[in-house]
Chains A and B, each alone.
Chain A
Amino acid sequence: MHFHPRIVAMAVVRLRDSEAAREIAQEALLAVLVALREGKLREPEKLPAFVSGTARNLVNNHFRSLREQRNTVALDPETPSVVNLATEAELAEQRQTLRGALERIDPRDRIILLLTLVEGMNPREIAPRVGLSAENVRTRKMRAIRQVTEELQKLSRKKGQTPLSAETVS
């Protein structure tokens, strides 16, 4: 079980800040390691829940510290990270696969995906924009996501890993 990418994913989704997410992932893994050494985890099968709980606490602490940082020195978000989890070439290959897959789907489905995953709209909100029923939007969206993610997962299987994501090398 690889927890690092999971913690990064959780922190990015919650914080929208890939650098802070990577820092939290390092911190969380360290905290988990210390806790394990101290024998704080008695039931090994609960390790995933323990790690996610530790990461969640650190994300919440980060939120709190952001509120307190208003009048203090903030971290420079431009500072480059030294933690690169994937190569630029791997990320470029993934982007190429995604672009190709997106180009192959119906233009209307691309708009449905954009409105769903970027704008956060639901099928009922999308329906009048694309001239389809909400049910039709839902069907098309699921089919399009399946088509695109299948290509991505094919690439990942070839490389024996879970799909990379945008912040892995940024």
Chain B
Amino acid sequence: MECAQIKREEVVERYLTGSVGPQERESFEEHYFACEQCFAALQAHRALQAELSASAPQIRAMPAPNPTAWRWTAAMATAAVVILAVLGIRWGMKPDLSPPAPPTQTMQPGPAGPSLAELARFDPPTYTPAVLRGAQDEAMRKFRAAMKHYRQGEYARAITGLREAAKLNPKDAGALFFLGVSYLLSGQTDDGIAALQQSVALGDTPYLEDAHYYLAKAFLHKNDLAGAEAELQKTVQLKGDLESKAQELAQAIQALHRPSH
């Protein structure tokens, strides 16, 4: 393998994402063990990959560059220009013809209340590793390794490990819970909801209350107020540590229902 081929065939990226075959991988490894330039490129890509992984939630949180949305935006902008032009002509002829519009019922909060997006936000739930002195099975080992990434804010990496842990032990409510939360923090809300619901389905586990609470947050993110309220009700019924937080959140959602004037 040669430097030019590595560059041309984007071997570094494919190597890092596990998209190379065993022979190509071996060949590239032998190459970078002897080539300063390609090893520097690999290290730079790895550092970039780690940073992107750590910043994934912020990057995903930015408005999605959706082509359909852009087309609609352009079309709406054109339409707005036309409408304004027409209205401009009318207003030009009748300057006093614009009575204030009646207040409409909206889901927006009053000036003092938090918005739906603010209510949906949350800090990553803390994970404190337990001191385990006995034998650990592979699922537990994977879980703990994944949670190291979680604690460093590397949610994409945490997801990979937690998925493996949950696959090895489908009754591990903790792995499913933190998998769900990691998905939510990576902007993959539907996957997050599915994992949290699996954690809930395991019944009375130490993660039941938390799973209901973060499901409420996920539903808020999807503008599903009824779904969020149902999950908060279940959180309150468990009368655990999150009871008062869940009540406060439910009240804030109720305030969103009230029309603003």
Which positions in A face B, CB cutoff 8 Å? 1, 3, 5-6, 9-10, 12-13, 16-17, 48-49, 51-53, 56, 66, 69-78, 94-95, 98-99, 102, 107-108, 110-111, 113-114, 116-120, 122, 128-132, 145, 148-149, 152-153, 156, 162-167, 170
User: What B residues does A102 contact at CB under 8 A?
Assistant: 51-52, 55
Give the dominant DSSP class at A's interface: helix
In the bound complex, CA of A130 to CA of B132 (Å) = 45
Give the dominant DSSP class at B's interface: helix
12 contacts between A and B (CB under 8 A): A6-B32, A9-B39, A52-B29, A69-B141, A73-B134, A74-B141, A77-B145, A110-B62, A111-B62, A117-B48, A120-B18, A163-B40
In the bound complex, CA of A99 to CA of B55 (Å) = 9
Q: Which residue from A74, A110, A164 sits with its C-beta under 8 Å from B140?
A: A74
Q: Which residue from B47, B129, B144, B157 sits with its C-beta under 8 Å from A98?
A: B47
**Contact residue range for chain B?**
35 or more
In the bound complex, CA of A100 to CA of B207 (Å) = 38
Q: A117-B16, A130-B65, A164-B43 are in contact. Are A10 and B29 (CB under 8 A)?
A: yes
**Interface presence of B30 (CB below 8 A):** yes
Among B15, B43, B64, B137, residue most surrounded by chain A Cβ atoms (within 10 Å) = B43
Contact at B65–A113, with CB atoms within 8 Å?
no
User: What B residues does A70 contact at CB under 8 A?
Assistant: 137-138
Q: A1-B34, A56-B26, A74-B141 are in contact. Are A165 and B62 (CB under 8 A)?
A: no
User: What A residues does B157 contact at CB under 8 A?
Assistant: 16
**Interface presence of B17 (CB below 8 A):** yes
Q: A16-B157, A48-B33, A52-B30 are in contact. Are A113 and B48 (CB under 8 A)?
A: yes
Q: A6-B32, A162-B39 are in contact. Are A71 and B135 (CB under 8 A)?
A: yes
Contact at B136–A3, with CB atoms within 8 Å?
no
7 further A-B pairs in the complex, CB-CB below 8 A; given A113-B48, A117-B16:
A6-B39, A16-B160, A69-B138, A149-B44, A152-B48, A164-B43, A166-B50
Contact at B152–A170, with CB atoms within 8 Å?
yes
In the A-B complex, the 3 residue pairs with the closest CB atoms:
A131-B67, A166-B50, A120-B17
Which positions in B face A, CB cutoff 8 Å? 13, 15-19, 26, 29-30, 32-34, 36, 39-53, 55-56, 59-60, 62, 64-68, 70, 129, 132, 134-138, 140-141, 144-145, 148, 152, 156-157, 160-161
User: What B residues does A9 contact at CB under 8 A?
Assistant: 32, 39, 42-43, 46
Contact at A77–B148, with CB atoms within 8 Å?
yes
User: What B residues does A163 contact at CB under 8 A?
Assistant: 40, 43-44, 46-47
Contact at A116–B32, with CB atoms within 8 Å?
no
Write the chain A residue with the least CB distance to B35: A48
In the bound complex, CA of A108 to CA of B63 (Å) = 10
